[in-house]
């Protein structure tokens, strides 16, 4: 029976076992092992033992700094088993609201072509108003310019600014040079002041409709250099759902009088159809230079937008078939005169073209007093006591209630500068208005 290892390593158990841990670095080698190459496992164990090991204390692990240490040092944490990672929540896939879409789009500095999809809230919205809502920084002239050049397309087809959009359509927007709007925190005091002002000019209000008496000089919507306008003021009436009252038609900045606002989505859609179908009856009062020879008549022309040499835009009488020419019809009647020098006209627009009444009054040779764009009588002197402001008032609006609750019939008083002129000329504004029963076509 073998009692020991007779090899050069000496008795059994005196040498290192195969695959065991070699002597620590610096320890004297076994002279008996000289001349014998260590095994692969022994060499690997020796290399591992030569590496510096981190110092360990109970509950703490210290690590050596890396070659490029970070500017801050990690905070030691107790060692122990890791907790299982919590399952990730499924991403929310709800469709964004119109307010979220508008806010996101308005903050983008658009440097390339964009493809925007029409949301449910934007269904049946005019293209120009769609752009104004998505890009509040865009001026009216900028919108008209990209439309006129054919750079704006709907589902790949060229579109006009007054075309109506449908939910799901894709609107191609050309590159726009926009300045991102500065977002300022809302002020409760400013909102209260705005609400107080809107109440002071409210002529009619119910759960669906507001009719404001818009002052002359207050813009309805924002534009180049315009920071205060009705649409911006309506933000103060925004509900918790992000919805606010909406404009359903416009008035020129210098025109005073009845402005209809929808308080709900349903009312906005219904009233928009009312104005498109010409079911709304609108009556304007104006003070014009001279007196028309025909005391009651009909003005029918085509109007097209033209750009003046100074970059300003105005409407001009055009021919049928001209680029951008649209048919415009206005009925008028002479209510009162002042020595054949001034005439009080009652105007009833059948169509709703931009600057229609102002362009038509100038077309028949009797421009509206104080009109900076269309007053075209040379060497005409303004009578003393009359202010050089646009004498045009949206006097009356009559339209069916959006929920079928009868008829809304609202009249606006004369603005201060027109009241002054009426008193000076002896006009009585309580008298019968002969244009009310004028035909619709």
The SS3 assignment for 171 reads: strand
Q: For residue 410, what pLDDT is reported?
A: 95
End-of-domain residue from the set 141, 173, 205: 173
| Same-domain status, 136 and 257 | no
Q: For residue 179, what pLDDT is reported?
A: 54
| Same-domain status, 340 and 289 | yes
Q: For residue 134, what pLDDT is reported?
A: 77
Q: For residue 227, what pLDDT is reported?
A: 76
Domain that residue 104 falls in: 98-173
DSSP secondary structure string for all residues of 116-155: EEPPGGGTT-BHHHHHHHH-TT--HHHHHHHHHTT--EET
How far apart CA 245 and CA 263 sit, in angstroms, is 4
| Same-domain status, 310 and 275 | yes
Answer yes or no: is 301 within a domain: yes
| Same-domain status, 159 and 195 | no
| Same-domain status, 225 and 313 | yes
Answer yes or no: is 114 within a domain: yes
Answer yes or no: is 9 within a domain: no
What predicted TM-score, i.e. pTM, was given to this entire model? 0.64
| Same-domain status, 154 and 223 | no
| Same-domain status, 212 and 158 | no
- 433 part of the active site: no
Answer yes or no: is 55 within a domain: no
Answer yes or no: is 11 within a domain: no
Query: Each residue's pLDDT tens digit in the chain (441 positions)?
Result: 444 444 444 444 444 445 455 554 444 555 444 455 556 566 666 565 555 554 444 444 444 444 444 455 555 555 555 555 555 544 444 555 555 555 455 444 445 788 888 876 677 777 887 887 777 667 777 787 888 888 888 998 888 877 888 888 898 888 876 555 454 555 677 788 999 999 999 999 999 999 999 999 999 987 666 778 898 899 888 877 777 899 999 999 999 999 999 998 889 889 988 998 888 999 999 999 999 999 999 999 999 988 665 556 789 999 998 888 999 999 999 999 999 999 999 999 999 898 999 999 999 999 999 999 999 998 899 988 999 999 999 999 999 999 999 999 999 999 999 999 999 999 998 876 766 666 555
How far apart CA 130 and CA 105 sit, in angstroms, is 12
| Same-domain status, 111 and 200 | no
Answer yes or no: is 16 within a domain: no
| Same-domain status, 238 and 340 | yes
- For the chain, how far is it from start to end, CA to CA, in angstroms? 131
| Same-domain status, 116 and 234 | no
Q: For residue 434, what pLDDT is reported?
A: 65
| Same-domain status, 108 and 245 | no
Structurally, the chain folds into a number of domains equal to 2
Answer yes or no: is 246 within a domain: yes
How far apart CA 234 and CA 82 sit, in angstroms, is 55
| Same-domain status, 201 and 149 | no
End-of-domain residue from the set 109, 144, 173: 173
End-of-domain residue from the set 173, 197, 229: 173
Give the CATH number for residue 227.
3.30.2350.10
Give the CATH number for residue 129.
3.10.290.10
Q: Considering 121, 128, 231, 252, which one is annotated as catalytic? A: 252
Q: For residue 73, what pLDDT is reported?
A: 52
Cβ proximity of 296 and 333 under 8 Å? yes
Q: For residue 14, what pLDDT is reported?
A: 47
Q: CA of 14: how far to CAs of 2, 11, 283, in Å?
A: 16, 6, 119
How far apart CA 396 and CA 257 sit, in angstroms, is 8
How far apart CA 119 and CA 169 sit, in angstroms, is 8
Answer yes or no: is 179 within a domain: no
Q: For residue 209, what pLDDT is reported?
A: 96
């Amino acid at each position: 029976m073998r009692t020991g290892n007779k090899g050069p390593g000496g008795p059994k158990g005196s040498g290192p076992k195969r695959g065991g841990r070699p002597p620590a670095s610096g320890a004297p080698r076994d002279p008996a092992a000289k001349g014998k190459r260590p095994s692969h496992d022994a060499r690997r164990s020796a290399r591992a033992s030569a590496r510096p090991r981190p110092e360990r204390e109970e509950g703490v692990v210290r690590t050596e700094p890396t070659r490029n240490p970070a500017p801050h040092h990690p905070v030691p944490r107790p060692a122990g088993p890791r907790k299982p990672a919590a399952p990730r929540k499924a991403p929310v896939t709800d469709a964004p609201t119109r307010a979220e879409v508008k806010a996101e789009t308005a903050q983008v500095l658009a440097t390339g072509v964009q493809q925007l999809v029409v949301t449910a809230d934007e269904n049946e919205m005019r293209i120009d108003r769609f752009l104004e809502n998505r890009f509040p920084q865009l001026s009216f002239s900028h919108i008209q310019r990209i439309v006129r050049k054919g750079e704006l397309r709907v589902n790949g087809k060229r579109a006009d600014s007054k075309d109506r959009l449908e939910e799901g359509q894709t609107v191609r927007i050309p590159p726009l040079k926009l300045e991102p709007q500065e977002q300022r925190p809302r002020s409760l005091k400013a909102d209260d002041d705005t609400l107080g002002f809107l109440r002071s000019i409210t002529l009619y209000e119910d759960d669906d409709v507001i009719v404001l008496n818009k002052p002359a000089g207050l813009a309805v919507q924002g534009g180049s250099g315009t920071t205060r306008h009705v649409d911006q003021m309506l933000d103060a009436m925004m509900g918790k759902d992000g919805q606010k009252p909406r404009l359903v038609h416009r008035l020129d900045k210098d025109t005073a009088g009845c402005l209809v606002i929808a308080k709900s989505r349903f009312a906005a859609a219904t009233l928009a159809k009312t104005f498109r179908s010409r079911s709304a009856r609108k009556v304007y009062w104006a003070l014009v230079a001279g007196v028309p020879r025909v005391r009651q008549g009909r003005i029918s022309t085509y109007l097209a937008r033209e750009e003046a040499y100074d970059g300003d835009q105005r409407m001009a009488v055009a021919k049928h078939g001209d680029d951008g020419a649209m048919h415009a019809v206005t009925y008028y009647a002479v209510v009162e005169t002042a020595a054949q020098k001034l005439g009080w006209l009652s105007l009833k627009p059948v169509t709703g073209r931009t600057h229609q009444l102002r362009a038509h009054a100038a077309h028949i040779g009797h421009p509206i007093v104080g009109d900076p764009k269309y007053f075209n009588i040379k060497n005409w002197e303004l009578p003393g006591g009359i202010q050089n402001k646009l004498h045009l008032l949206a006097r009356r609006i009559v339209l069916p209630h959006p929920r079928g609750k009868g008829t809304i019939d609202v009249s606006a008083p004369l603005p201060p500068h027109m009241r002054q002129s009426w008193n000076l000329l002896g006009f009585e504004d309580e008298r019968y208005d002969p244009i009310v029963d004028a035909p619709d076509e």
